[in-house]
Amino acid sequence: MSALSELPPAEEHWYVAGRFLDVAQRAPAHRWDAPAPVGGWTARDVVGHLVEWFPGFLASGAGVVLPEAPSVKEDPAAAWAARTGDVQRLIEDPGERVLENPHIGRIPLAEAIDRFYSVDVFMHTWDLARALGQEPDLDPARCDAVVAGAQEHEEAMRASGQYGPRVDVPADAPAQDRMVGFIGRDPDWRPSRER
């Protein structure tokens, strides 16, 4: 998947992770167990996914061990703030480190974070915002970049089981709706109590 924008990886992560943090910090405490657009997930699970999957990816591919984050169960926003800080420090000073993976080969660590993690954070910002009853209002150019990058790898992406079938949206729909549909979400999804 391609980078989201023309910003350097550290600036892109700072922006994207900061938007996710803003959504998380505006969450009323009672909404963390609300359903999310990802089947079987709650708002808390969206944060948990992003806090928990990336350390293993870094450790296995680059030998980088991130510090433990606070408990997502106890305080999702604090867990996200800590994880964001850890990743930001790493991406700002990656040194000569590379990430190696049998599916992607060897790539510079900052590029790997940009291509895989920052993109994931960006997409899941929509999930978190909707689960928490907020409007995501994602950057249209970044939405278009996600779709453009993902189209090149769509077959492998769908085969991974991590994305649902594409949801058809009108060709002239807003960029955010086109991206959400592409990754298998219904752009009109709302928690059941808001429908």
Each residue's pLDDT tens digit, 133-190: 999 999 999 999 999 988 777 776 666 667 788 899 999 999 999 999 999 999 999 9
Query: How confident is the model over 30-55, as pLDDT tens digits?
Result: 999 999 999 999 999 999 999 999 99
| Dihedral over Cα of 154, 187, 129, 179: its sign | positive
Q: What is the pTM (predicted TM-score) of this model?
A: 0.92
* Predicted local confidence at residue 4, as pLDDT: 63
Per-residue pLDDT of 2-33, as tens digits, reads 456 679 999 999 999 999 999 999 999 999 99
| pLDDT value at 119 more than 50 | yes
* Residue 97 pLDDT exceeds 80: yes
Report residue 195's pLDDT band, with 50, 70 and 90 as the boundaries.
Answer: very low
Q: Could you give all domains of the chain from N- to C-terminal order, each with its CATH number?
A: 9-190 (1.20.120)
pLDDT of 193 higher than 70: no
- Give the residue-averaged pLDDT of 56-68: 95
